[in-house]
Amino acid sequence: MKKSRIDLLQACRNHMQVHELVQPGQSVLAAVSGGVDSMVLCSLLRELAGPMALRLALAHFNHHLRGDESDEDEQFVLRMGAEWGLTVHSGGADVASWSEEHGQSVETGARILRYRFLLDLAEKMGFDRVATGHNADDQAETVLDHFLRGSGVTGLCGMPRRRDRIIRPLLFADRHWITAFAEQHAVPFRRDSSNEDQVYRRNRLRHDLLPYLQQYNPRIHRTLTRLSGNMAEVDEYLTAMAEKAFRECCLQAEEGKIILDCQQFLAYFIILKKYLLRLCLSKLVAGESFFDHALYDRALSMVSGTGGQAYALLGNRVFIEKAGKVLIIGRRPLPCTEVRIDQLQGSFPLWDGWRLRILAVNEPLSSIRRNQDQKRVWVDGDKLALPLTLRPMRDADRFRPLHLAGSKSLSDFFIDEKVPRHLRRRVPILWSGDQVVWVCGRRLDDRFKVTAETKRIYELILAEQCESEIGI
């Protein structure tokens, strides 16, 4: 009996040391549901806290899914924390209501809210690590679930031993080992009745599919766990290669946009292209950990095409544009909001950090002509009819470009001006009634130019937010 305790304790310590899950002197917040896995984890960490100089505390999240049973779990963890002399931080949420409101399954909603609580608490209280009780059987179930959903290499890695603050010290141990330890050493725990509920997908995998697969492979759990380890090694290598490829072909990286050398990008193997795309997307969309395969296939098909110009949306939040010799991968900005202007004086906020400033002018016409630039124009005030409107381009919009005979569609104008496709509907267009006054920062409409007959002159300035605020 004693040997089992020593074996599991030593194995847990070795696992944490070999994989550098926690360093001596660090603080650990153990996520404790009250079930056998988390209670054994807590028991082991209590044993290791002294030798490893760890500061240990517990955290419990009440999902409020099982009525009184959920509340009793919370009281159990609070009681055990007091008995062990450990601080317990508790929280909770109505997971069912939140999941319905956000269009998520209860399982997904529970996971999102639980980790949000744990990580927010760790950040607030200054814990270096958040330890969970996931074991090798959980890993096998996760890998099988991801396989059935069609996941690639990253999905088949399963749960990592460590990701940022999250660590899983028991990921090496199967459920039988953990349960035997609890029984042999009188570790108290509660049984979660929902673990038998066939409504939940994971329970069906655990109780139906995995036992069925054991008929063909009695060691299916170990096989899936080994697969996860192999895929983790492949994923680690490809991630490192993607970082190297990014350094090789990235021409520009800034907030919201990455520009790659298209020829260099196309020279990589397909799998490396996908990993490089994933890396770019992760840099653009913070906290986004998953993009489906169809997204990568669509992007690569577009990029590999023979046309010089191409554009595609990658989900709802990012785009990729092929523009000659470069690839532009960018974050889709927030929608442009129409702005109404009721007075010919003042500063009016626009989208993307821009402002339109309107000033009455008392300068001679000759001076005005000498000082014109792309983001500063002068207009005939008598031809303006309030209210003015600022909005992005629509498909049928036309105007009369300054010094050009006849009208032209805004779409053709932007093509001629080589405005990137993803930016064309971000350019503010100033309207007076149904007439374009100014394609802001690009071209004045000829109908509103200042002439010798002009009585009232107004200066229009497209300025960045910071410039407007200091009066530049």
pLDDT over 70 (residue 6): no
- 60: closest CA among 96, 82, 97? 82
Give 42-68 pLDDT, tens digit per residue.
999 999 999 999 999 999 999 999 999
- The structure tokens 């906290």 sit at 287
Asked which of 41-45, 142-146, 453-457 is least confident by mean pLDDT, the reply is 453-457
Q: Give the residue ranges of DSSP H helices in 425-463.
A: none
- 219: closest CA among 136, 284, 319, 302? 136
**What pLDDT, on the 0 to 100 scale, is given for residue 202?**
87
**What pLDDT, on the 0 to 100 scale, is given for residue 308?**
58
Strand 250-254 vs strand 257-261: parallel, antiparallel, or unpaired?
antiparallel
pLDDT over 50 (residue 206): yes
Give 260-299 pLDDT, tens digit per residue.
999 999 999 999 999 999 899 888 876 555 556 777 887 8
- The structure tokens 């009819």 sit at 385
Q: Which two tokens stand for residue 17?
A: 């040391």
E strands present in 243-342: 250-254, 257-261, 309-314, 318-323, 326-331, 339-341
Q: Could you tell me the maximum CA-CA distance found in the chain, to the nearest angstrom?
A: 103
3-state SS, one letter per residue, for 122-178? HHHHCCCEEECCCCHHHHHHHHHHHHHCCCCHHHHCCCCCEECCEECCCCCCCHHHH
**What pLDDT, on the 0 to 100 scale, is given for residue 204?**
93
As a whole number of Å, the end-to-end CA separation of the chain is 79
**What pLDDT, on the 0 to 100 scale, is given for residue 44?**
96
pLDDT over 60 (residue 370): no
SS3 339: strand
Give 69-127 pLDDT, tens digit per residue.
999 999 999 999 999 999 999 999 999 999 998 888 898 899 999 999 999 999 999 99
- 260: closest CA among 237, 283, 240, 239? 283
Distance, in Å, from the CA atom of 429 to the CA atom of 341, rounded to the nearest integer, reads: 13
Give 313-353 pLDDT, tens digit per residue.
666 677 888 888 888 888 776 677 889 999 998 889 888 77
CA 16-19-20 angle, 5° bins: 70
Distance, in Å, from the CA atom of 290 to the CA atom of 35, rounded to the nearest integer, reads: 29
CA 450 from chain centre, in angstroms, equals 49
Are 128 and 27 a contacting pair, CB within 8 Å? yes
Give 17-48 pLDDT, tens digit per residue.
999 999 999 999 999 999 999 999 999 999 99
Q: What are the boundaries of each domain within the chain?
A: 2-221, 255-331, 339-469
Q: Just give the CATH number of 339-469.
A: 3.50.40.10
**What pLDDT, on the 0 to 100 scale, is given for residue 292?**
63
Q: Give the residue ranges of DSSP H helices in 19-94.
A: 36-49, 68-84
**What pLDDT, on the 0 to 100 scale, is given for residue 314?**
66
Distance, in Å, from the CA atom of 301 to the CA atom of 298, rounded to the nearest integer, reads: 5
- 239: closest CA among 154, 151, 146? 154
Q: Work out the pLDDT band at 467, boundaries 50, 70, 90.
A: very low
**DSSP letter assigned to residue 401:** B
The CATH number of domain 255-331, selected from 3.30.465.60, 3.10.20.30, 3.10.20.520, 3.30.70.260: 3.30.465.60
- 17: closest CA among 149, 172, 157, 133? 172
Tell me if 2-221 shares its fold with 255-331: no
pLDDT over 80 (residue 258): yes
Are 463 and 395 a contacting pair, CB within 8 Å? no
Distance, in Å, from the CA atom of 44 to the CA atom of 255, rounded to the nearest integer, reads: 44
Calculate helix-pair angle for 136-148, 220-249, nearest 10 degrees.
70
**What pLDDT, on the 0 to 100 scale, is given for residue 310?**
65
Are 157 and 141 a contacting pair, CB within 8 Å? no
Distance, in Å, from the CA atom of 145 to the CA atom of 205, rounded to the nearest integer, reads: 8
Q: Work out the pLDDT band at 390, boundaries 50, 70, 90.
A: very high
Distance, in Å, from the CA atom of 468 to the CA atom of 151, rounded to the nearest integer, reads: 49
| Residue 305: CA count within 13 A, CB half-sphere | 17
Q: Work out the pLDDT band at 144, boundaries 50, 70, 90.
A: very high
- The structure tokens 């847990």 sit at 12
Q: Just give the CATH number of 2-221.
A: 3.40.50.620
Neighbour tally for 467: CB within 10 Å: 15
3-state SS, one letter per residue, for 377-392? EEEEHHHCCCCEEEEC
Q: How far is CA 305 from CA 229, 252, 261, 276, in A?
A: 36, 23, 15, 18
**DSSP letter assigned to residue 334:** P
3-state helix, strand and coil shares in percent for the chain, rounded to the nearest 5: 45, 20, 35
Q: How far is CA 273 from CA 110, 240, 323, in A?
A: 34, 13, 18
